[in-house]
Chain A
């Protein structure tokens, strides 16, 4: 059974600081890995999708890396803003998605 772990569980940083969120998974036989954002009481917003053959994906201030062989992914958010405050979820896919518990980020103005 796929186990997905996200560290840290919570993170609080001052505005402007870079964020580093970690995700690890136990079974490397995945099709892809997705990073999501979830605001309180809201659904999931997809941020980045990395296919198993890729090493990283970038979108604006967001960059995600994938090391499938070691079962790790890292989401970097550059120059954080208060609007980045949310819970960030990592999910790996075989056919269904297996989710981590998330990292709750607070960016202080």
Chain B
């Protein structure tokens, strides 16, 4: 079946604007994760959704970042009042469950804040 998809693939925005990044997980996967890959920072965890449980937001870098997951499927990551340091590749992953299941990654959204 189809893998994890993300849109847009690239986004260029001006500092101070809001952006929304979308993730469509693999059908049937109950767990969904957002990660960020910044130059010089490596890959870092942002937020995690599991079924109907409250999300784990412990990785969000500031209150400008938020995410929601509608109907247990599609997720949107929103960054308000973007800053240049938000420039990064944002990766979404999904897995069947929250335990030892393999995480499958989408192609990512490259965000550039000018």
On A, residues with C-beta under 8 Å from B are 31-32, 34, 36, 42-44, 46, 49, 51-52, 89, 91, 93, 95-102
- A residues within 8 A CB of B100? 31-32, 51-52, 93
| Known A43-B91, A96-B56: A101·B42 in contact at CB below 8 Å | yes
Of the candidates A36, A43, A52, A96, which one forms a contact with B106 in the assembled complex, judged by CB atoms under 8 Å apart? A43
Main secondary structure of the interface of B (DSSP, over half): strand
B102 touches A46 (CB 8 A): yes
Binary interface profile of B, 27-55, with partner A (CB < 8 Å = 1, else 0)? Answer: 00001010100000011110010100000
A46 and B33 form a contact (CB under 8 A): no
Tell me if B71 is interfacial: C-beta within 8 Å of chain A. no
From B43, B50, B102, B104, contact of A99 by CB (8 A): B43
A96-B59, A97-B33 known; A46 vs B105 contact (CB < 8 Å): yes
- Contact flag A46-B104 (CB < 8 Å), given A96-B59, A99-B43: yes
Query: Complex formed: what's the CA distance from A51 to B101 in Å?
Result: 9
Interface size class of B (residues with CB under 8 A): 20 to 34
Q: Does B25 contact A (CB under 8 A)?
A: no
- A49–B105 Cα distance when bound, in Å, is 14
Extra contacts besides A43-B108, A95-B31, A96-B48 (11): CB < 8 Å: A34-B102, A42-B107, A43-B107, A44-B91, A46-B102, A52-B100, A93-B100, A93-B103, A95-B99, A96-B56, A96-B59
Q: Which of B33, B102, B105 contacts A96 (CB 8 A)?
A: B33
How close is A32's CB to chain B, nearest CB, in angstroms? 5
A97 touches B102 (CB 8 A): no
The smallest C-beta distance from B9 to any residue of chain A, in angstroms, reads: 10
> For the complex, what is the distance from the CA of A15 to the CA of B15, rounded to whole Å?
45
